[in-house]
Structure 1
Amino acid sequence: MLIAAGIIFTYFLIFFIVATIIKNNSIVDIGWGLGYVVTVWILYAIYQPQSWLVLVLNIMVSLWGLRLFYYILKRNVFQEEDFRYKNWRKAWGKYVIPRAFVQVFMLQGFFMYVIGSSAFYANVNDVTWNPLSIIGMGVFLLGYLYEVVGDAQLKAHIKHHKGTLMTTGLWKYTRHPNYFGESVLWFGIFMTAWLSGVPWFFVIGPLTITLILYFISTPLLEERMQKKDGWQAYVATTNKFFPGMRD
């Protein structure tokens, strides 16, 4: 696992150097999903695990990571620094470089290490196949499809009704189906690994991403959404994170 930490550190160090040169710390968002993919496949090449389950785990991580990488790259490439990072740059003043290194790049590296720990451990220790792992694969597929469908529905809505709230499809049951789907798919990755021998305490990975999405990502996004017409009515009738029917 020290090798995994070293890979992640080097990966984010490269992004930090580039970001410092171009004065745009928001490129760290582009590298977030790709970092998991890079890490699992470098570990796979180094340790050469024999179990095909590890290969399946890495493919699962890659499906999520590459899709996220493409989505954010397409949205952010050649754009100005995101307003969040601009605000931090202004607030940090002459200490922007060391604080960005620690609070942006290394912090994301730490979270990547924790969230992806079950997949990293599987690559290092070559876990063996267990038929029950299919359950985890099913959970991953459910979460992945929930995220993909939610994003597709939102994209179609924006194309035809830009500036209005999305309240149909999966968005009728949760205000953040993409976030919920991401949480579920990471539990699926953990379950696939755990049911094949990865220690139970690596559940810290999916729990961490769920807490980040629920307590950080969701409030930040909803703060910006409050200005939209119909927002309060939408909040009153639609669950925040976990899907469900409400009166």
Structure 2
Amino acid sequence: MKRSISFIIIFIIYILAFLVGFLTFFLLKQLNISFTLKIIISDIVATIFVWVSGVALKNSSVYDPYWSVAPMVIIPFFVSKINLSTLLLLTIIFIWGIRLTLNWAYTFKSLKHQDWRYTYFKTNYPKSWQFLNLFGINLMPTIIVISVMLPAFKYLENPRFNLITVLGALVSILGIVCESIADIEMHLFRKQNKNHTINNGLWKYSRHPNYFGEILMWWGVFIYSLSGNISFLYIIGPLALTALFYFVSIPLMERRLLEKKTDYLKYQRSTSKLILFPPKKH
């Protein structure tokens, strides 16, 4: 299947998924539940539609852009008033979402190709594959993304602008810049060094600076939202995101890198796992 045709199919799937989500939200208007809960349920229904599409196409990578696209679709629904703080928060989330979606598009080959992690789970856990596919690959990331957006949802009910807002914005912007530089460095490196481990730029100071940038982005949103006097319990969202990357994504990625790259063990021993930090000297 050609790359262009694959893009069109993905685009149609996402248009239909969000239409299904909007329809679900409309139907939920009859129920006496909170606006946020209606959005969450609608988001989950849209995710299930994407999962079904992936099953039909035999490719779970259909879900991959959902992580960055869904927040841009959802966040405008929570805007209660337009002011500087609201516009700044929306701008940060949209810049993050557009950049990450473009990065996905750049690396997307076609629907003939599936993320190696999904293939690994499908091959090694055939009996529980569809369970892992639905709950692990599709629903869990959706719930994680919703959890890191909850502080922003609450903040937008009563947006304020103060020094905490500025601090949060700076942390998020730093995260976006870090993730962007890391992705660009990796793309340039891979063109000429497919069998070696990147060890320059930000990758000299962290084995996963792209993940570090993603985590910073959402911690920034949490800090930003604190300026609206939200409950500190909303910290659960960024904590869950950090745990996902630190305890799931990174170990899975590094297990594969240790198998594929002979120089990765040396790099692993000398370089910080996540936070940017000067390399160890031996």
More displaced stretch, 82-91 vs 60-69: 82-91
The alignment status of 1:217 with 2:261, answered yes or no, reads no
Matches within 5 A, 1:1-247: 1-44=36-79, 48-76=80-108, 77-89=110-122, 91-93=125-127, 100-123=133-156, 125-226=157-258, 227-245=260-278, 246-247=280-281
Q: TM-score, normalised by structure 2?
A: 0.77
> Do the aligned partners of residues 96 and 105 (structure 1) sit closer, same or farther apart at CA in structure 2, a change above 3 Å counting?
same
Report the CA distance between 1:36 and its aligned residue: 1.4
Call closer, same or farther: CA 1:11–1:178 in 2, change over 3 Å.
same
2:51–2:138 CA contact under 8 A, matched in 1: yes
* Alpha-carbon distance change, 201 to 18 in structure 1, aligned in 2, over 3 angstroms: same
Looking at structure 1, the residues matched to 98 and 145 of structure 2 have their Cα atoms a distance apart, in angstroms, of 15
Unaligned ranges ≥5, structure 1 = none
SS of 1:160's equivalent?
A: coil
**Runs of 4+ off more than 6 Å:** none
One-letter code aligned to 1:148: S
Contact 1:130 1:196 (8 Å CA) reproduced:
no
Q: Give TM-score, length-normalised by structure 1.
A: 0.87
Residues 164 and 223, structure 2, Cα contact 8 Å, conserved in 1: no
Q: Percent of counterpart pairs with the same letter?
A: 25
1:187 Cα deviation from its structure 2 partner: 0.9
Kept in 1: contact 2:202–2:209 (CA 8 A): yes
Count of aligned pairs between the two proteins = 242
**Distance across 2 between alignment mates of 1:210 and 1:202:** 14
Deviation at 1:208, TM superposition (A): 1.4
- Whether the 8 Å contact between 1:54 and 1:122 is mirrored in structure 2 is no
Structure with the larger RCO, 1 or 2 (CA within 8 Å, 6+ apart): 1
